[in-house]
Amino acid sequence: MSPDPAWPAEWLRGVPPFLRGLPEPPPCTGSRIHDGGTPAQQRDACAICATCPVRQACRDWALDHPTEAGTAVWGGLTQDDRKTVRRRRPRR
């Protein structure tokens, strides 16, 4: 399935497969929230994630793929947030 023309081609590079299959781009499309950034930028990114219909899927992906998620905000969690969640959750 090819992405909808609404998806910016440059944004698709490095995007997890579960996001590429959505019928329309999530609210973060075109933003730079997946770059990490300053604490203020991370708070802005978390606010975008708060209204996203795929927030939980992004969060789960980032928790399961820490290297690929890097320093970016995914599912409303910063890299430090994800480290805390991973330390607290039971091993699979």
pTM above 0.85, yes or no: no
For residue 4, how many other CB atoms are within 10 A of its CB? 10
pLDDT tens, 21-80? Answer: 788 778 887 666 667 688 888 888 899 999 999 999 999 999 999 998 888 899 999 999
Structural contact between residues 28 and 34, judged by C-beta atoms closer than 8 angstroms: yes
In the predicted model, is pLDDT for residue 3 greater than 60? no
